[in-house]
Amino acid sequence: MRLKYVMSEVMVGLWRNVTMTVAMIITMAVSLFMLGASGLIYTQVKDMKAYYYDKIEVAIFLKPEITDDQRASLEGELKSDPLVREVIYESKDEAFKKFQTMFADVPAVVDAVKPGQLPESFRVGLVNPEQYQAVRETYVGKDGVDQIIDQRNLLEKIFNILGAGQTGALVAASVMALAALLLVGNTIQVAAYSKRREVAVMKLVGASNWFIQAPFVLEAVVAGLLGSVLGFGMLAILKVVLLDGSLQDLTDLLTPLSWAKVLIMLPLMALAGTVVSSVTAWVTLRFYLRV
């Protein structure tokens, strides 16, 4: 009986003020969508770091006038360096071949460069890519070393863009969350007002506080759940339309975003939605249903 009573009260409550309920659900959905998106960007950046940091290398370009002795001692040093995972030597010929394949569809560029013009280099994989500075300082002034380039710099730029996107999404999520919060509070106030007679009688005859409050809190929880489902729907559409659709090329560059990772956002969003709305409702009731 009690459960049935509470549930029917919840449905009546949500219907009583449908426009408000819809507004509440939509703001909640957008907020949770932003939260989910920023969560996805976060895992994405983490995955990409794990994936690319294994592959990126530090390129130590050698001066054209380097002697064989200098090259050999440099290689020896690199190979015994504890920070270094692997060292690959790239000769001028190899560099040229790589260059040719890289720019195969732009013959003009290939023609402009002659074999031997490109510098030879050591391609160094680091044990921990974050320790680039230490490696750089060790080798930068050595005889025969020309330039040291960290490929990570390039990736950092991508990560910075993604990071900015994540921050933006989080800011938008919290602003929307604030709006959703106020809407939940307002809806609960309206609900409490329209049921003030019932509430007064309930208090008078000694209904327990939770029994009085449960329908209101559950109303907010149901709205929060609906909002999270809707927000998740937006996230799924984002994946299908943007990532798998028009931004396909970019997606290939990034590590693929699996459905599993998107799906994991659903319980997280639902949890955030229900916790935020129920706490708001409960706090509102503390002010509007004083015992």
Residue 200 makes contact with another protein by CB under 8 A: yes
Give the CA count within 13 Å in the CB-facing half-sphere of 141: 3
Work out how close the CB of 127 gets to another protein at its nearest, in angstroms, rounded to a whole number. 60
Residue 193 makes contact with another protein by CB under 8 A: no
Residue 3 makes contact with another protein by CB under 8 A: no
Q: Which two tokens stand for residue 272?
A: 């955030």
**How far is the C-alpha of 80 from the C-alpha of 139, rounded, in Å?**
13
Work out how close the CB of 200 gets to another protein at its nearest, in angstroms, rounded to a whole number. 7
Q: Which of 18, 108, 204, 260 binds another protein (CB under 8 A)?
A: 204
Q: If we measure between CA atoms, which residue out of 11, 39, 15, 25 comes closest to residue 231?
A: 25
Residue 207 makes contact with another protein by CB under 8 A: yes
**How far is the C-alpha of 62 from the C-alpha of 49, rounded, in Å?**
28
Q: Which of residues 49-88 bind another protein (CB under 8 A)?
A: none
Q: Which of 63, 142, 203, 261 binds another protein (CB under 8 A)?
A: 203
Q: Judged by CB, which is closer to another protein: 59, or 207?
A: 207
Residue 253 makes contact with another protein by CB under 8 A: no
Distance of CA 43 to the CA centre of its chain: 5
Q: Which of 20, 59, 179, 202 binds another protein (CB under 8 A)?
A: 202
- Beta-carbon contacts of residue 47 (< 8 Å; ≥ 6 apart): 255
Q: Judged by CB, which is closer to another protein: 170, or 207?
A: 207
Residue 198 makes contact with another protein by CB under 8 A: yes
- For helices 259-288 and 152-194, angle between their N-to-C axes, nearest 10 degrees: 40
Residue 206 makes contact with another protein by CB under 8 A: yes
Coil, helix or strand at residue 91: coil
Choose the stretch contacting another protein; rule: CB under 8 A; options: 62-70, 128-136, 208-216, 223-231: 208-216
Distance of CA 41 to the CA centre of its chain: 2
Q: Judged by CB, which is closer to another protein: 79, or 196?
A: 196
- Beta-carbon contacts of residue 37 (< 8 Å; ≥ 6 apart): 169, 235, 238
Residues at the interface with another protein (CB under 8 A)? 1-2, 5, 197-198, 200-209, 211-212, 291
